[in-house]
Amino acid sequence: MAQNNTHRAFGRAVTPVGTAGRALRGTGGAAVLGTVVIGSALLAGPAQAAPAVSPAAPAVAAQAAAPAAPAPAHATSVLAAEKLRWGSQGSAVEQLQTTLNEHGASLAVDGKFGKLTHGAVKDFQGTHDLKVDGVVGPETRGALNGGGASISGGGTSAPAPTHSATNSQKAIVDAARSQIGASYSWGSSKPGVSFDCSGLSSYAYKQAGIDLPRTSSQQVAAGTTISKSEAQPGDLVVWPGHLGIYAGGDTIIDAGRTPGAVTERTIWGSPTFVTFR
């Protein structure tokens, strides 16, 4: 019996005549015949060129190309909002000394506000058109911090925080008054017992968080001389060899040889006035 299609070779696939039926060699040696991929389980659509780019690698390169963030600029230490002066001690003074060194001083950072720190503050004040008094108040602190007042979110200058002079001055006077009746004794500073003039002032100031040098001459040298019209309660009233604490009006609280005790009395003579504000 005659067999159909005896002209076909056994095992050969029939391909349409024409260019569409030409075998294209695909990746891995599989022949692409029209829409049939021999040797593959996948059925392809119209033949397309292989993509020029290989499968994407992890996106590390793109991240590496991102510009590095700039290193933060050097910033001057920001001083705490408290008044510092000769006799002050602690971490706030260490911060002050570090900041002064950043502005050209050469201080040991020991937390003790003494002669060298006092001089460095005055040098800084002199070169920045500030009041040269050796006291680090709001204006000097602002200059050391690089401009003074902080900036609020709206971009306007906000007042720098200030130490409450009123509360400090009141604390000084109240502390001195609390010792009225204690006896006078040269070189003494024993609350409730005895004081000399500078012992009383150093005690009263300490109750307000302010450390003064011990002797009257050192206290006068560390402060700033002012006129009586500028004086406020808590400032010092000074005579040669003696001082007291200004209580307001025309009175002082002092420990004097006469009457031999801590008293509040009327100012006499022509004293000078010294402030640590």
Whichever domain contains 149, its CATH number is: 1.10.101.10
CA 111 to chain CA mean position, Å: 17
The predicted structure's pLDDT at residue 125: 84
| Residue range 128-135: mean pLDDT, rounded | 84
Q: Are residues 259 and 174 in the same domain?
A: yes
> Does 253 lie in the same domain as 228?
yes
DSSP string, 62-92: HHHHSPPPPPPPP-PPPPPSS-B-TT-BSHH
Per-residue pLDDT at 180 exceeds 50: yes
Q: 114 and 184, same structural domain?
A: no
Ranking 3-17, 132-146, 207-221 by mean pLDDT, the lowest is 3-17
SS3 120: helix
Q: Which residue has the higher pLDDT, 254 or 152?
A: 254
The encoded tokens of residue 162 equal 């200030």
Tokens 């100031």 sit at which residue? 205
Domain residues for 241?
A: 165-275
DSSP category for residue 244: E
Same domain, 171 and 271: yes
Number of H helices, E strands in the chain: 7, 12
Q: What is the pLDDT of residue 126?
A: 80
Strand spans (E) along the chain: 24-25, 31-33, 36-37, 183-184, 189-190, 194-195, 224-226, 236-239, 242-248, 251-256, 261-266, 272-275
- End-of-domain residue from the set 103, 132, 163: 163
103 within a domain of the structure (yes/no): yes
Q: What is the pLDDT of residue 24?
A: 39
Specify the pLDDT at position 153: 32
User: Is residue 195 domain-shared with residue 100, that is, in the same domain?
Assistant: no
Residue 71 lies in a domain: no
Torsion angle defined by CA atoms of residues 177, 174, 211 and 231, in that order, rounded to the nearest 10 degrees = -90
- Region 223-250: mean pLDDT is 95
> CB neighbours (10 Å) of residue 222?
21
Q: Are residues 223 and 268 both part of a single domain?
A: yes
Q: Which of 118, 123, 148 is nearest to 135 (CA)?
A: 118
| pLDDT (mean) for 241-260 | 94
235 and 142, same structural domain?
A: no
Tell me: do 198 and 188 sit in the same domain: yes
Q: Which of 10-24, 164-178, 212-226 has the lowest mean pLDDT?
A: 10-24
Listed in sequence order, the residues at least 6 apart from 38 whose beta carbon sits closer than 8 Å to its beta carbon are 13, 30, 31, 32
114 and 211 fall within a common domain: no
Instruction: Please check whether residues 178 and 265 belong to one and the same domain.
Output: yes
Q: Is the pLDDT of residue 187 over 70?
A: yes
Q: Does residue 159 lie in a domain region? A: yes
Among 76-90, 123-137, 232-246, the range scoring the smallest mean pLDDT is 76-90
pLDDT at 41 exceeding the cut of 80: no
136, 163, 190 - which closes a domain? 163
* Residue 64 domain flag: no
**Does some domain include residue 154?**
yes
Q: Is residue 65 part of a domain?
A: no
**277 within 8 A of 165, measured Cβ to Cβ:** yes
Which pLDDT band holds residue 83 (cuts at 50, 70, 90)? confident
Higher pLDDT among residues 264 and 65, named by residue = 264
| C-alpha 156: how far from chain center | 19
Question: In this structure, is residue 30 part of a structural domain?
Answer: no
Of 106 and 50, which is predicted with more confidence? 106
Q: Which of 117, 147, 163 is the last residue of a domain?
A: 163
Residue of higher predicted confidence among 27 and 93: 93
pLDDT for 146 beyond 80? no
- The mean-pLDDT minimum among 52-56, 84-88, 103-107 falls in 52-56
Identify the residue with better confidence: 134 or 221: 221
Q: How many domains does the chain have?
A: 2
- For the chain, the helix, strand and coil percentages under 3-state DSSP, each to the nearest 5: 30, 20, 55
Q: How many CB atoms lie within 10 A of CB 36?
A: 13
Listed range (86-100, 134-148, 175-189, 261-275) with the worst mean pLDDT: 134-148
103 and 172 in a single domain? The answer is: no
Question: Range with the lowest mean pLDDT among 49-63, 118-132, 157-171?
Answer: 49-63
Q: How far is the C-alpha of 73 from the C-alpha of 36, rounded, in Å?
A: 66
Would strands 194-195 and 251-256 be described as parallel, antiparallel, or unpaired? unpaired
Q: Which helix (H) or strand (E) element contains residue 116?
A: helix 115-127
Confidence label for 252 from pLDDT (cuts 50, 70 and 90): very high
CATH code of the domain containing 247: 3.90.1720.10
Both 154 and 197 in one domain: the answer is no
What DSSP designation does 12 have?
P
Q: Quick one: pLDDT band at residue 110, thresholds 50, 70, 90?
A: very high
Residue 157 covered by a domain: yes
